[in-house]
């Protein structure tokens, strides 16, 4: 078998998505969201005067409702840029893959969510996938400029 045939065969089997890095980025983005939620709850409890503080459960719900969706989008975007560092092409598909995998990791929360909170979960899911797309586009533009 010639070298050209061997190279063509090995490239056709290779995925255009870097699944290992995509999975790592999705997990790291979720851990980043958890860290951001903990920090936001801590900042709230440190800043708000004792007479105006809410119960810990109420704080968690409010922070989770308002902070988690943009935090998830931001974390997804940042980790898509991390994934794209080693890429030569397929930036957008890898970025969207990070968004989709991070949604799959968090989709279990949708089943346990209260009915009135479910629309916010859907917004958060769309934001993560959109952030993956935007991160892929930014990485692609950065590669073109360098």
Q: Are 99 and 107 in contact (CB under 8 A)?
A: no
Cα–Cα distance between 48 and 39 in angstroms, integer? 14
The length of the chain, given as a count of residues: 146
pLDDT tens string 53-80: 777 677 778 888 999 999 999 999 999 9
pTM: 0.84
Q: Are 60 and 34 in contact (CB under 8 A)?
A: no
DSSP state of 17: S
In the prediction, which pLDDT does 60 show?
79
pLDDT tens string 103-123: 999 999 888 888 998 999 999
HEC string for 18-82: CHHHHHHHHHHHHHHHHHHHHHHHHHHHHHCCHHHCCCHHHHHHHHHHHCHHHHHHHHHHHHHHH
Structure tokens at 101: 């995998």
In the prediction, which pLDDT does 3 show?
52
High-pLDDT (> 70) share of the chain, %: 90
Which residue matches tokens 């629309």?
119
Name the nearest CA neighbour of 136 among 69, 103, 90: 90
């Amino acid at each position: 078998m010639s070298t050209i045939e061997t190279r063509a065969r090995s490239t056709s089997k290779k995925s255009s998505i870097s699944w290992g890095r995509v999975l790592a980025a999705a997990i790291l983005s979720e851990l980043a969201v958890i860290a951001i939620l903990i920090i936001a709850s801590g900042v709230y409890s440190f800043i708000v005067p004792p007479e105006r503080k809410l119960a810990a459960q109420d704080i968690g719900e409010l922070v989770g409702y308002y902070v988690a969706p943009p935090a998830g989008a931001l974390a997804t975007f940042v980790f898509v840029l991390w994934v794209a560092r080693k890429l030569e092409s397929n930036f957008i598909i890898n970025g969207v893959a990070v968004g989709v995998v991070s949604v799959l990791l968090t989709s279990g929360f949708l089943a346990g969510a209260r009915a009135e909170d479910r629309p916010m979960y859907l917004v958060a899911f769309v934001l993560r996938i959109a952030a993956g797309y935007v991160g892929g586009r930014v990485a692609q533009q950065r590669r073109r400029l360098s």
